């Protein structure tokens, strides 16, 4: 029994997936049908789709869905036999029916009652077309929505006859005008003509039907003969058979596919992620080995292996990524329907052009991109495209144009939505924002064109005078921003008054494995997703300008706010790490915002695998995740959107972090030792020599202290925790303030590694227990040597 239930469940699941796909295609096909109502193949395809859904639905006992699709099928059946002619009312009814079907399927999916949906209205509408008496009126397109009654139809016909009469009269010319008729006579005449006309119509219709039928027969006959011909030819020229079909239909040939659970792909992606980490590690080990034992045969072989693994891993990664890729057409294909509905509602004429629908991107990205695009297109039709009569006045074609296009650019997919509407006026936007209190007057004055365009993303901003159900609430563009931010994407807006607006979205192709720029701030490394990085620049202290006591950088024609990355993360307090002659700025952008982040050091570019910080550390401000580097250390990934937001409320200035800004009254010594005895000996000796001593017990502490106090001399216990003293010295040497500072090593257990000492440029090695004289001598020695170097 339970098994039966499971089986049933599975069948329903399959049905839902199939129905979803069919309905999605239907939307697209139906809109296409509106323009190509004679396309028999298309009609048949739509008919088949309804038929399939009806069949499965009745098998599974979804009565309402069966009834609805049955009626839809009937209408389509008449349409494809050309017994009915498609008009926009009919199209509305069919689309309405499709929407209802979607609703029912949604209910089945969510476990609701699929029979609770009210389909009476839809069925009634559809049935009315099936009625023998239903007269397809070619002119009814101009009429308002709704189904016409018989009376209306007759009226309409009468009207037409009158019009036609008037025309023929006019054509006939003066002769008729000369013989005016009495009222009765006219009415009589009308009656007579009407009858005649109706007869004629009937005949016409019959004829047309016959014509169509004969045409169809002819077509079938020719087709079958063609087929025969083809079949005979097929053996000789197999390609020829395909070509005419291809030309007729731009649709690709059905590909061979299998359905795969997304979860499996995710798992696979995770495994590849682990592999990439392993590969990074292998490469780093191979490099280290090469540095150490250069020329050794085994090391060379290791290098080769590492290279090969790198290649294969990259290919594998691409392969797995590709299996997760879907065409953006999946999203784009919904838009003909969206555009049709909105433009009809607003009485605008809009033509939608889709380019690059075959561009592929990660499934998870596709899911997030739909909503923003709907809002953008909606906005374009509502605010961008002018009413047809206005367009004509402006000398534009009455039909507005929206171009949705997608293409790849490096590791991004670029999606553009361009309209040829009225464009945006930056001044008007500023005014509106001022009015709503979203910006201040000074802000408005300093605002560039791009920044003014970006105002539309502020929540609560709307230029619409009235709230309609299409737009005006000021929510839409905020949604766009939030979703794009979530994807680490960038939004750009280009607009020209009178010419149109173009919204450009740049979205990373995949979310799991990304390229990142590694930077260093204080003692920590951070990875900035490369998609958010616009450029990196090296500046000096003099390049920094001030606007209202905030640091900014003039970069070409742009003014970019500058902040110290450490400040935005709350780790920058009292840190003096910047060399005023060499300040590194990473210009980052998220959605519509751009900012310059100052870092201590640029490390390089690396491929990283995003890992979560786990359940214990959720929602950390400024951090979106972590990754594991080739050397096994953990590096945090910046949440650029959050950092940019944080930057606006930071009061600290760049000067606070300049090494030159460190004020000291007496020389400073940094002592890093885990041994209390050694530490005490050193401290007392140094203090006697007039040093201010800062003391660290671990290497982490030492690095923190070293950036808070610029020491003149450093004593390092070689056995310090957590990593040893050699590594600490290396880290210190990489800080600009400690490039030439004298280092003294202290060995508490008598062991030392001369190579490593040299590498980190220790000036002297002491052994515990320490004698005061020894320490004095060491200070003297390293200080004098330092002067010589300088």
Closer Cβ to other proteins, 154 or 309, answer by number: 309
Given the residues 122, 280, 333, 379, select the one marked as catalytic: 379
Pair 595, 561: CB distance under 8 Å: yes
Closer Cβ to other proteins, 238 or 570, answer by number: 570
Distance CA 485, CA 495 (A): 22
Which of 2-10, 78-86, 589-597, 618-626 is the region at the interface with other proteins (rule: CB under 8 A)? 618-626
Tally of CB atoms within 10 A around 520: 19
Query: What torsion do the CA atoms of 33, 35, 38, 43 make, to the nearest 10 degrees?
Result: 0
Residues numbered 713 to 742 that lie near other proteins (CB under 8 A) are: 721-723
Q: Using CB under 8 A, pick the residue from 338, 464, 613, 705 that binds other proteins.
A: 613
Which of 288-296, 304-312, 613-621, 686-694 is the region at the interface with other proteins (rule: CB under 8 A)? 613-621
Distance CA 602, CA 586 (A): 9
Closer Cβ to other proteins, 123 or 628, answer by number: 628
Closer Cβ to other proteins, 621 or 664, answer by number: 621
Q: Using CB under 8 A, pick the residue from 632, 734, 759, 772 that binds other proteins.
A: 632
Q: What sign has the CA pseudo-torsion 734, 736, 737, 739?
A: positive
Nearest residue to 592 via CA among 418, 470, 459, 467: 459
Which of 345-353, 413-421, 509-517, 567-575 is the region at the interface with other proteins (rule: CB under 8 A)? 567-575
Q: Does 288 bind other proteins (CB under 8 A)?
A: no
Compute the least distance from the CB of residue 612 to other proteins, in Å.
Answer: 7
Q: Does 245 bind other proteins (CB under 8 A)?
A: no
Closer Cβ to other proteins, 149 or 612, answer by number: 612
Pair 596, 561: CB distance under 8 Å: yes
Q: Does 621 bind other proteins (CB under 8 A)?
A: yes
Tally of CB atoms within 10 A around 330: 17
**Contact string (CB under 8 A) for other proteins, positions 687-716, x = contact:** ----------xx-xx---------------
Closer Cβ to other proteins, 525 or 767, answer by number: 525
Which of 89-97, 232-240, 472-480, 606-614 is the region at the interface with other proteins (rule: CB under 8 A)? 606-614
Given the residues 67, 73, 103, 451, select the one marked as catalytic: 73
Distance CA 303, CA 294 (A): 11
Residues in contact with other proteins, counted by CB under 8 A, come to a total of 36
Residue 174 appears among annotated catalytic residues: no
Q: Does 570 bind other proteins (CB under 8 A)?
A: yes
Q: Using CB under 8 A, pick the residue from 60, 571, 650, 765 that binds other proteins.
A: 571
Quote the DSSP letter at residue 69: H
Closer Cβ to other proteins, 48 or 674, answer by number: 674
Which of 4-12, 252-260, 304-312, 563-571 is the region at the interface with other proteins (rule: CB under 8 A)? 563-571
Q: Using CB under 8 A, pick the residue from 569, 587, 729, 732 that binds other proteins.
A: 569
Q: Using CB under 8 A, pick the residue from 85, 436, 674, 689 that binds other proteins.
A: 674
Residue 483 appears among annotated catalytic residues: no
Q: Using CB under 8 A, pick the residue from 336, 372, 622, 630 that binds other proteins.
A: 622
Burial of 349 (0-12, 13-18, 19+ CB in 10 A): middle
Distance CA 43, CA 580 (A): 72
Compute the least distance from the CB of residue 529 to other proteins, in Å.
Answer: 17
Burial of 1 (0-12, 13-18, 19+ CB in 10 A): exposed
Query: How many contiguous H segments (helices) and E segments (strands) does the chain have?
Result: 26, 23
Q: Using CB under 8 A, pick the residue from 99, 524, 579, 601 that binds other proteins.
A: 524
Burial of 192 (0-12, 13-18, 19+ CB in 10 A): exposed
Closer Cβ to other proteins, 541 or 697, answer by number: 697
Locate tokens 């077309």: which residue? 129
Compute the least distance from the CB of residue 522 to other proteins, in Å.
Answer: 9
Residue 379 appears among annotated catalytic residues: yes
Compute the least distance from the CB of residue 621 to other proteins, in Å.
Answer: 4
Q: What angle do CA 286, 517, 560 make, to 5 degrees?
A: 160
Locate tokens 């097929």: which residue? 234
Distance CA 401, CA 307 (A): 50
Q: Using CB under 8 A, pick the residue from 159, 612, 734, 784 that binds other proteins.
A: 612
Compute the least distance from the CB of residue 724 to other proteins, in Å.
Answer: 11
Which residues are CB-contacts of 279 (< 8 A; sequence separation ≥ 6)? 306, 309, 310, 313
Compute the least distance from the CB of residue 569 to other proteins, in Å.
Answer: 4
Distance CA 57, CA 45 (A): 18
Quote the DSSP letter at residue 381: I
Compute the least distance from the CB of residue 701 to other proteins, in Å.
Answer: 8
Distance CA 734, CA 717 (A): 19
Closer Cβ to other proteins, 86 or 626, answer by number: 626
Compute the least distance from the CB of residue 619 to other proteins, in Å.
Answer: 5
- Coil, strand or helix at 428: helix
Q: Using CB under 8 A, pick the residue from 283, 620, 705, 768 that binds other proteins.
A: 620
- Coil, strand or helix at 299: helix
Closer Cβ to other proteins, 547 or 634, answer by number: 634
Distance CA 105, CA 125 (A): 21
Pair 77, 84: CB distance under 8 Å: no
Sheet holding 692-696, edge to edge: 692-696, 668-672, 713-717, 743-747, 764-767
Rounded to 5 degrees, what are φ and ψ at 668?
Answer: -115, 140
Q: What sign has the CA pseudo-torsion 721, 724, 729, 731?
A: negative
Q: Does 617 bind other proteins (CB under 8 A)?
A: yes
766 sits in which H/E element: strand 764-767
**Contact string (CB under 8 A) for other proteins, positions 246-285, x = contact:** ----------------------------x--x--------
DSSP secondary structure of 446-474: H--HHHHHHGGGSTT----SS--SSS-SS
Q: What angle do CA 459, 460, 465 make, to 5 degrees?
A: 140
Residues numbered 126 to 185 that lie near other proteins (CB under 8 A) are: none
User: What is the chain's alpha carbon radius of gyration, rounded to the nearest angstrom?
Assistant: 38
Tokens (6 digits) for 702: 């030492």
Distance CA 722, CA 706 (A): 17
Compute the least distance from the CB of residue 614 to other proteins, in Å.
Answer: 6
Which of 256-264, 412-420, 451-459, 615-623 is the region at the interface with other proteins (rule: CB under 8 A)? 615-623
Given the residues 51, 165, 351, 708, select the one marked as catalytic: 51
Closer Cβ to other proteins, 525 or 662, answer by number: 525
Compute the least distance from the CB of residue 513 to other proteins, in Å.
Answer: 15
Q: Using CB under 8 A, pick the residue from 116, 133, 469, 633 that binds other proteins.
A: 633
Compute the least distance from the CB of residue 139 to other proteins, in Å.
Answer: 59
Q: Using CB under 8 A, pick the residue from 611, 692, 730, 756 that binds other proteins.
A: 611
> In the chain, what is the straight-line distance between the N-terminal and C-terminal CA atoms, in Å?
89
Return residues touching other proteins (CB under 8 A). Answer: 274, 277, 523-525, 569-571, 611-623, 626, 628, 632-636, 674, 697-698, 700-701, 721-723
Please identify every residue annotated as catalytic.
Answer: 51, 73, 379
């Amino acid at each position: 029994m339970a098994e039966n239930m499971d089986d049933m469940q599975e069948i329903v699941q399959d049905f839902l997936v199939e129905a979803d796909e069919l309905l999605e295609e239907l939307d697209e096909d139906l809109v296409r049908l509106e323009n190509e109502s004679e396309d028999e193949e298309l009609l048949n395809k739509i008919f088949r789709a309804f038929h399939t859904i009806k069949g499965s639905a009745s098998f599974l006992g979804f009565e309402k869905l069966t009834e609805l699709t049955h009626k839809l099928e009937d209408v389509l059946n008449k349409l494809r036999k050309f017994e009915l002619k498609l008009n926009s009312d009919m199209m509305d009814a069919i689309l309405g029916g499709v929407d209802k079907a979607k609703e029912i399927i949604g209910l089945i999916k969510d476990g609701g009652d699929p029979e609770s949906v009210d389909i009476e209205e839809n069925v009634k509408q559809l049935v009315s077309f099936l009625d023998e008496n239903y007269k397809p009126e070619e002119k009814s397109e101009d009429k308002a929505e709704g189904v016409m009654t018989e009376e209306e139809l007759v009226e309409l016909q009468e009207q037409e006859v009158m019009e036609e009469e008037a025309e023929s009269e006019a054509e006939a010319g003066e002769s008729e005008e000369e013989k005016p008729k009495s009222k009765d006579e006219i009415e009589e005449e009308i009656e007579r003509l009407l009858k005649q006309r109706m007869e004629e119509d009937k005949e016409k219709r019959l004829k047309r039907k016959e014509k169509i039928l004969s045409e169809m027969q002819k077509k079938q006959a020719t087709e079958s003969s063609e087929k025969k011909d083809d079949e005979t030819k097929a053996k000789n020229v197999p390609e020829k058979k395909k070509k005419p079909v291809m030309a007729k239909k731009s649709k690709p040939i059905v590909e061979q596919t299998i359905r795969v659970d997304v979860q499996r792909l995710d798992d696979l992606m995770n495994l590849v992620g682990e592999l990439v980490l392993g590969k990074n590690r292998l490469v780093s080990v191979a490099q280290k080995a090469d540095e150490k034992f250069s020329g050794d045969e085994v090391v060379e072989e290791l290098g080769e292996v590492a290279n090969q693994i790198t290649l294969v891993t990259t290919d594998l990664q691409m392969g797995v990524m590709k299996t997760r890729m879907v065409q953006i057409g999946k999203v784009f294909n919904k838009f003909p329907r969206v555009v049709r509905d909105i433009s009809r509602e607003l009485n605008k004429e809009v033509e939608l052009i889709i380019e690059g629908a075959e561009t592929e991107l990660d499934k998870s990205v596709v899911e997030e991109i739909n909503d923003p695009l709907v809002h953008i297109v909606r906005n374009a039709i509502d605010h961008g495209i002018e009413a047809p009569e206005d367009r004509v006045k402006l000398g534009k074609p009455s039909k507005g144009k929206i171009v949705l296009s997608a293409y790849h650019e490096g590791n991004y997919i670029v999606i553009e939505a361009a309209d040829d509407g009225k464009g945006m006026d930056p001044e008007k936007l500023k005014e509106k924002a001022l009015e709503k209190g979203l910006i201040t007057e000074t802000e408005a004055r300093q605002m560039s064109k791009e920044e003014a365009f970006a105002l539309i993303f502020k929540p609560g901003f709307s230029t619409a005078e009235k709230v309609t159900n299409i737009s005006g609430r000021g929510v839409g563009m905020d949604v766009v921003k939030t979703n794009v931010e979530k994807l680490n994407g960038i939004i750009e807006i280009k607009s020209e008054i009178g010419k149109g607006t173009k919204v450009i979205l740049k979205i990373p192709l995949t979310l799991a494995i990304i390229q990142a720029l590694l930077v260093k701030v204080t003692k920590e490394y951070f990875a900035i997703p490369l998609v958010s990085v616009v450029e990196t620049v090296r500046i000096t202290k003099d390049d920094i300008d001030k606007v209202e006591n905030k640091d900014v950088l003039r970069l070409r024609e742009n003014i970019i706010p500058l902040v110290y990355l450490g400040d935005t993360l709350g780790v920058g307090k009292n840190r003096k790490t910047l060399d005023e002659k060499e300040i590194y700025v990473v210009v980052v952008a998220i959605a519509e915002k751009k900012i310059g982040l100052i870092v201590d050091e640029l490390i390089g570019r690396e491929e990283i695998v995003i890992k979560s910080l786990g359940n214990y550390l959720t929602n950390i401000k400024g951090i979106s995740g972590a990754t594991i580097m080739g050397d096994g250390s953990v590096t945090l990934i910046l949440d650029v959107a959050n950092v940019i937001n944080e930057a606006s409320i930071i009061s600290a200035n760049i000067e606070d972090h300049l090494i030159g800004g460190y004020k000291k009254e007496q020389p400073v010594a940094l002592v890093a030792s885990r041994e209390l005895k050694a530490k005490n000996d050193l401290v007392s000796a140094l203090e006697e020599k007039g040093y201010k001593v800062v003391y660290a017990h671990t290497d982490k502490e030492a690095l923190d202290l070293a950036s808070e106090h610029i020491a003149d001399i450093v004593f390092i216990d070689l056995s310090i925790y957590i990593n040893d003293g050699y590594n600490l010295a290396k880290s210190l040497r990489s800080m600009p303030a400690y490039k030439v500072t004298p280092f003294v090593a202290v060995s508490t257990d008598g062991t030392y590694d001369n190579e490593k000492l040299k590498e980190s440029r220790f000036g002297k090695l002491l052994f515990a227990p320490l004698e005061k004289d020894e320490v004095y001598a060491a200070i003297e020695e390293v200080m004098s040597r330092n002067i010589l170097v300088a």
